[in-house]
Amino acid sequence: MGPFDYVIVGAGPAGCVLANRLTEDPAVRVALIEAGPDRNARKAIVRIPLAMVTFMAPALAFLGGPKFMTWFASEPEPGLQGRSMPLPRGRGTGGCSNVNGQVFIRGQREDFDGWRDLGNAGWGFDDLLPYFRKLERFEPIADARAGRRVKFGKRPLAEQIDPTLHGTDGPVNIAPMRSVNKLAYAYLDAAQLAGYELNPDFNGPRQNGIGLYNFTQKNGERVTAEGAYIDPVRHRPNLTIVADTEITKVVFDGTTATGVAWKRGAETGVIAAREIILSAGAFVSPQLLMLSGIGKARELARYGIALVQDLPGVGENLQDHLDITLEYRAKSITPYGISWKALPRNVLHMLDWLFRKRGLLASTTADGGGFVSTDPNNDRPDVQLFFCTGRANTQAASGFTGHGFLMHICQLRPGSIGRVALRSADPADQPSILYNFFRGESSMDVMRAGIRLARKIMAQKPFTPHLDAEIDPGPDVESDGAIDAFIRERVGTLFHPVGTCAMGSGPEAVVDPQTLRVHGVSGLRVVDASIMPTIVSANTVAATYCLAEKAADLIKRDN
Ligand SMILES: Cc1cc2nc3c(=O)[nH]c(=O)nc-3n(C[C@H](O)[C@H](O)[C@H](O)COP(=O)(O)OP(=O)(O)OC[C@H]3O[C@@H](n4cnc5c(N)ncnc54)[C@H](O)[C@@H]3O)c2cc1C
């Protein structure tokens, strides 16, 4: 096979964007190599938005979710009473976009301006806005009919959107949830009574406020990176997709990357290319660099790996979002759930999705959103809220039956810095992942304050007809000490690892911000969530699509 101009390792959102954009030039030959299966976007488990719960629930594995997942685990975390955190990643063409929660939020202007100010010229918010617009088809303004139909408050949503901040003809369709559960409106009312303003568009001029999320969905179905970027260009003769194939390392001639070593079952081989681009995600991209001889010289020597380039930042700077869930039992059956009383309605929901792509199956249940600040002296949000109109609580594993709802409190900039390291020189061994949550600089104040403000919202009158009781952690967990203990016991990540091959020019930087080439070697770049120097204050797929769009331009210009 080959040789190719580019081999892209990993077909997640970043890899799919690159494969599409680099093959726009018919003279450029690209191979996209993916560890998992190909042609996923039309499979029901991927298309149905609600089916995301099946990927996370071992009891629902018979529905076929496991083949789209790779499960990693953190080391026992000293700040979490030695608890190891489960860390799922998506697998197959589309990567995590096949299994994720579909929430589409870019992040705050300050996040990207922060990247720029760290020495990454060209990566500030104003530099990236054209790329956000390039990737988006923001349905409320792209489709005038949809725009008139969807209302926020009493007015059409489209009238409340700043069109200069959104794209209308990009590959990724962004849409409000098609069927919003009535309880989400109780949440909006309750939040206002608790003193928070409504925000019709978290990707608008300001992120602060309470509102309803937009999703990577179209016509009540999930939009994946494969569906958006690969399926429309599969026919290009200069694009070769190789699925079910693991890359085990980058092959070098001196300090020039010349190809990648692959493994499929017992078969192995090498694919040659002029350039290699690692897009295997924030856990595997740094692992592949280290397995290939790029990393801390001392560590590599420990595992008998021949040094190609001493680069101490590889695998360092791991960042993620922290998330804690409050769970409520309902006294009405307004929230989604499984019960005899709700059986006829649930049957109708299934028919509704089959015939109209609406109803519960078109929902992820995370209808309600919010960005708030817990700091009275600074209104930059440090907490994100997810109000979920069903009770699939993965943190407490409390089951699916009955009716209830959840409030997730996510700390947007936890301040903890972790690392990804090798466990051995064997590519089959998963890397060692340590987050260091609640150690060093990171305190529990923001999460604790976030829980208190979420409870204030839930205590408002609009919830009275629905809320029976908080069942996890329960009202007795009230003092600082009790809340902190609950957080340490339950807190999870939002599955947004970034930062482990950070761009920059200092001694800890891994890739050059102007080319995304790995420092000190040639023919090798990294383009995925791992190059973010700091985590964005939002779910990470939008920023990943955006950085890959920009990367494609930088790569085209560089050659
Ligand atoms: C359960 C879950 C829910 C999430 N919810 C949201 C959400 O609602 N909104 C949001 O914005 N973000 C969400 N995210 C995060 C978001 O999906 C990621 O930030 C984004 O997908 C990162 O893209 P990526 O291209 O960097 O890597 P990935 O999506 O991780 O893709 C990497 C790809 O590389 C492949 N690969 C890995 N190793 C190899 C190898 N050795 N050889 C070949 N291929 C390899 C993998 O199989 C995978 O397909 C969620 C993630 C998860 C897991």
Query: Within 10 Å of residue 358's Cβ, how many Cβ atoms?
Result: 16
Rounded to whole angstroms, the Cα distance separating 280 from 9 reads: 6
Residue 472, Cα to own-chain centre: how many angstroms? 25
Whether the predicted pLDDT of 398 surpasses 70: no
Q: Which atom of ligand 1 is nearest to the CA of 98?
A: 17
Ligand 1 centroid – CA 344 distance (Å): 36
Mutate to test the pocket of ligand 1, among 34, 100, 420 (most ligand atoms within 8 A of CB): 100
Mutate to test the pocket of ligand 1, among 541, 546, 547, 549 (most ligand atoms within 8 A of CB): 541
Range 125-149 average pLDDT: 91
Rounded to whole angstroms, the Cα distance separating 207 from 188 reads: 16
Residue 323, Cα to own-chain centre: how many angstroms? 13
Residue 94 in tokens? 């589309």
Q: How far is CA 296 from each of CA 100, 507, 508, rounded to the nearest angstrom?
A: 32, 12, 10
Q: Write out pLDDT tens, residues 6-48.
A: 999 999 999 999 999 999 999 999 999 999 999 999 999 999 9
In the prediction, which pLDDT does 397 show?
A: 65
Rounded to whole angstroms, the Cα distance separating 48 from 354 reads: 10
Residue 499 in tokens? 């930062």
Ligand 1 centroid – CA 547 distance (Å): 14
What's the alpha-carbon Rg for the chain, to the nearest Å?
23
Q: Report the amino acid identity of residue 105.
A: I
Contacts of 369 (CB under 8 A, 6+ apart): 103, 105, 202, 210, 211, 212, 213, 384, 385, 386, 387
Residue 509 in tokens? 């930087």
Range 521-541 average pLDDT: 98
Whether the predicted pLDDT of 504 surpasses 90: yes
Range 389-410 average pLDDT: 84
Protein residue with its CA nearest to atom 30 in ligand 1: 281
- The single residue of 166, 408, 496, 519 carrying the catalytic annotation is 496
Residue count of the chain, please give it.
Answer: 559
Mutate to test the pocket of ligand 1, among 7, 96, 290 (most ligand atoms within 8 A of CB): 96
Whether the predicted pLDDT of 477 surpasses 80: yes
Backbone angles phi, psi at 230, to 5 degrees: -100, -50
Show the ligand 1 pocket: residues with CB < 6 angstroms: 9-15, 33-36, 88-92, 95-97, 99-103, 246-247, 279-281, 284, 495-496, 528-529, 539-542, 544
Whether the predicted pLDDT of 501 surpasses 90: yes
Query: Within 10 Å of residue 60's Cβ, how many Cβ atoms?
Result: 16
Q: Report the amino acid identity of residue 495.
A: F
496 has catalytic annotation:
yes
Ligand 1 centroid – CA 8 distance (Å): 15
Residue 188 in tokens? 């909006």
Ligand 1 centroid – CA 12 distance (Å): 5
Ligand 1 centroid – CA 452 distance (Å): 32
Q: Write out pLDDT tens, residues 411-428.
A: 999 999 999 999 999 999
Protein residue with its CA nearest to atom 8 in ligand 1: 101
Residue 393: pLDDT band by 50, 70, 90 thresholds?
Answer: confident
Backbone angles phi, psi at 338, to 5 degrees: -110, 115
Is-contact 319 498, C-beta < 8 A?
Answer: yes
In the block, which residue shows the tokens 């997942």?
Answer: 69
Closest CA to 220 of 360, 97, 368, 53: 360
Residue 131, Cα to own-chain centre: how many angstroms? 18
Rounded to whole angstroms, the Cα distance separating 334 from 249 reads: 52
The four Cα atoms 200, 389, 111, 313 give a dihedral, to 10 degrees, of -160
DSSP secondary structure code for residue 511 in this structure:
B
Is-contact 447 491, C-beta < 8 A?
Answer: yes
* Whole-prediction pTM: 0.97
Q: Write out pLDDT tens, residues 213-225.
A: 999 999 999 999 9
Range 82-95 average pLDDT: 97
Protein residue with its CA nearest to atom 17 in ligand 1: 96
Q: How far is CA 317 from each of CA 162, 286, 352, 416, 501, rounded to the nearest angstrom?
A: 35, 11, 46, 9, 8
Give the bridge partners for 221, in sequence order. 218
Q: Which atom of ligand 1 is nearest to the CA of 93?
A: 49
Ligand 1 centroid – CA 92 distance (Å): 10
Whether the predicted pLDDT of 56 surpasses 90: no
Rounded to whole angstroms, the Cα distance separating 214 from 270 reads: 42
Range 302-330 average pLDDT: 97
Query: Within 10 Å of residue 350's Cβ, how many Cβ atoms?
Result: 12
Residue 56, Cα to own-chain centre: how many angstroms? 15
Average pLDDT across the chain, whole number? 95
Rounded to whole angstroms, the Cα distance separating 433 from 171 reads: 33
Q: How far is CA 182 from each of CA 302, 368, 409, rounded to the nearest angstrom?
A: 58, 11, 21
Q: How does DSSP assign 56-79, residue by residue?
A: H-GGGGGGSGGGGEEEEEBPPBGG
In the prediction, which pLDDT does 517 show?
A: 98
Contacts of 137 (CB under 8 A, 6+ apart): 167, 168, 169, 170, 171, 172, 173, 174
The counts of H helices and E strands in the chain are 15, 28
